[in-house]
Chain A
Amino acid sequence: MSDAAYDAVIAGAGIVGAACADECARRGLRVAVIERDIVGSGATAAGMGHIVVMDDSDAQFALTRYSQRLWQELRPHLPDDVEYEQCGTIWVAADAEEMAEVWRKHDHYKKRGVPTEILDAQTLKGLEPNLRDGMSGGLLVPEDGVLYPPCAARFLLERARERGAELRLGASVVEIGEGHVRLTDGSEIRAKIIVNAGGASAPELTPGIEIKKRKGHLVITDRYPGFLRHQLVELGYLKSAHSLRSDSVAFNVQPRRTGQILIGSSRQHGAEHTEVDNDMLKRMLRRAGEYMPGLATMSAVRVWTGFRAATPDKLPLIGPWPQDKSVFLATGHEGLGITTSLGTAKILVDLIRGAKPEIPVEPYLPSRATEECTHA
């Protein structure tokens, strides 16, 4: 049997594929990345680009925190157009019940070494004067940040290529498995490991992966410097991200370095088309207006949609695919792809290399899906 040309071939040049390529190359693997479109053309281009810790579950917390630290280490090396800003997140509490959740989160993060600060109503108003009156307070997570994902993906790929990684754009993968990748032009690439980093399209390459598209909408405004300083998220965001069945919206806004405001968020099930859904858009913007009335008269420059890759237990799939030992998955990141891309890459290459990952990885292994487990 002849040698495979590569140690790893990665299908998908989004942020996850790019991070994996960077890590593979850094650790001496011969790697190629195959992408049918342009770098970062999927959820990487469409998403909000936040880097946040989330405590929906211990496993989610562990991965986001691990990965956020990796971003902080990487930060000095990032070029200017990646626009990394450590603006922090404020989880906004609109009533007493949500304020209780603020306290809970604060304790939870404190125990785990994540700096947070509880904001009472007055302090919150001082930090974010454009929030409407009557908020109960919030939780500031100062180490959260935002960046511009397409440039981050490009940077990671450039670094990988400097170390010998290959990038093939405009090449469409038809089939992967058993140590080879077959393209639409009929050619085949042989690799020891194939990494499916296909995001919402991952099931096309590896039938049987339980990933569903979860559509989102975003609106970006013209420049209003100083209107918003932190990323703001309503505590109801978790209710929205939780829901497995209904379509939902949640208040989530982000200041870009340009002074533009990015307004989200929405989640829809079963929507396959990329067109803007007027009703979802209306709901999302009305929700945003309930928190920040000043948004209403701002100039909205663009509206777009994207598909998150969602798994049933809301955790990504990182590791060997039980049905084919040459295939590894690095996908299913839902709304946390940017955040967890670096952590995913490290774990993936640890698993490929047989090294011990820095955090427990059982919750992310694709093999978990074949075991009995209760879903949240």
Chain B
Amino acid sequence: MSRDSQHRFDVLVVGGGPAGIAAAVRAAEGGVRVGIVDDNATLGGQIWRAGSAEGDTKEAAGWRRRLCTAGVTTVCGKRIFHQSEPGVLLAEGADDRIELSYRSLVLATGARERFLPFPGWTLPNVMGAGGLQAMVKSGLPIRDQRVVVAGTGPLLLAVAAYLRSHGAEIPVICEQASWSSLVRFGVALISWPEKIVQAFELKKDLAGVPLAANCWPLAAHGQRTLDRVTISRDGKPESIRCDYLACGFHLVPNLELPLLMGCQIRGGYVEIDDFQQTTVPGIFCAGEPTNIGGVDLSLVEGQIAGLAAAAGSTGEARKLFPARRKARRFASILERTFGLRPELKSLPSAETVVCRCEDVPYSRLQRHTSWRAAKLQTRCGMGPCQGRVCGPATQFLFQWNPVSVRPPVFPVRVESLACFREVTEPEHTVGAGGKA
């Protein structure tokens, strides 16, 4: 009979992606007791997701080695859902519940894809771009499958290249941004030579794959699964037969845990000071929740947060400020380039399901003037995703503002809310961390 366990750390890092790993490493190398918790089976988050047959990038592998060497305790497969008291977070695992105590906290909860509704988007085999990539990394066979990649953001190219390298056929990449935006983006990359190299690598990987700008999905079609999509290309509809549609409209930050803990949000991101500390003393935030900026910004912010959270390493942290400034410029370019065009608001038809958990169609939502009214009357956002999918969609479609969160910030077992089992004394070992 498994029992609840307690873990105590000086610094607890929530989120095992690049920002979290970097924070944990820098904090632990400073000599304090550090734990990193993630709900996936292994660390890496999305961009460093290690699948069943994958290797790491050199960069990722390097950081993982440092994590191991620094003696960070990894807690995988546990999902944080609530704060039981200041300084203690509750997380649920497959058959247990744990308490995580900390002196300082680094929230590195990352981002998720933004999904926008259009007719047929709920068909099986219509997935996010990152979503399909995650599935392939988790063993989904994609060789010789036709995949249309659509939406917006640099993720589309990375995903297309990845899928292609695993044998998928990519008829087209549909980027809703304009050609001029993309060209400006390309020109701006001059400031980041390493990104130009990345871009050329991608170009090689994607040789022969058409990239269409000003292009977006109009509808997905199929009986029980997808068999073709209609896209708008150069203002004209075009039908493309395919097995998968990998479609995502850039990223939105995962703010639920920062909100739960009372961190101030400004302009849609967690407000932080120079040392990545939020408006709640002792709580730091790094990576996508502070600004969607990709791996480089996540790594720099993570390091600054880890150093600051471990207390007293401000000198070391300051050395990273120029790198962060530079990476932030890239983040603003991303934001400018991949803003959503207004045509996307007209994609859903009256019957298009917007809230997938509760099957609420567009027509039932559009008569409401606020997220709360819509939620109460239609139950949009009351399903298990707790508004993570329909929230950003309705924010874009109707300009509704999201509201505060309540615990649990993820669905959990009733028994995890009720503490049915006794809490045992701390029994975990501090030791070499590493891949769980």
List chain A positions with a Cβ less than 8 A from chain B.
38-41, 45, 81, 150-151, 154, 219, 221-222, 263, 276, 278, 281-282, 285-286, 288-289, 295-304
Contacts and interface: CB of A to CB of B under 8 A. Distances in A.
8 nearest A-B pairs in the assembled complex, by CB-CB distance: A285-B418, A296-B415, A150-B376, A38-B373, A301-B411, A299-B411, A300-B414, A301-B384
A285 B376 contact: no
B419 interface: yes
A367 to B, nearest CB: 35
B417 A285 contact: yes
B370 interface: yes
B417 A300 contact: yes
A302 B387 CA distance: 12
Interface of B: 82, 84, 370, 372-373, 376-378, 382-384, 386, 406-408, 411-420
Given A286-B418, A302-B386, A38 B411 contact: no
B386 A289 contact: no
A219 B81 CA distance: 14
A79 B386 CA distance: 26
Contact of A45 (B82, B376, B383, B419): B376
Nearest to B374: A38
Nearest to A284: B418
Given A219-B417, A276-B407, A281-B417, A301 B373 contact: no
A281 B384 CA distance: 19
A288 B413 CA distance: 14
A154 B364 CA distance: 14
A346 B339 CA distance: 55
B376 A40 contact: yes
Nearest to A40: B376
Nearest to A150: B376
A150 B377 CA distance: 6
Nearest to A276: B407
Contacts of A222: 384, 411
Contacts of B406: 276, 302-304
A125 B138 CA distance: 44
Given A302-B382, A303-B408, 15 more contacts: A38-B372, A39-B376, A41-B372, A41-B376, A150-B376, A219-B417, A221-B414, A281-B417, A286-B418, A289-B415, A289-B418, A300-B408, A300-B412, A300-B417, A301-B382
Contacts of A301: 382-384, 386, 411
A221 B370 CA distance: 25
A286 B406 CA distance: 21
A263 B414 CA distance: 10
17 contacts: A38-B370, A39-B376, A39-B377, A41-B372, A219-B417, A276-B406, A278-B82, A281-B418, A285-B414, A285-B417, A289-B420, A296-B418, A299-B384, A299-B414, A300-B414, A301-B383, A301-B386
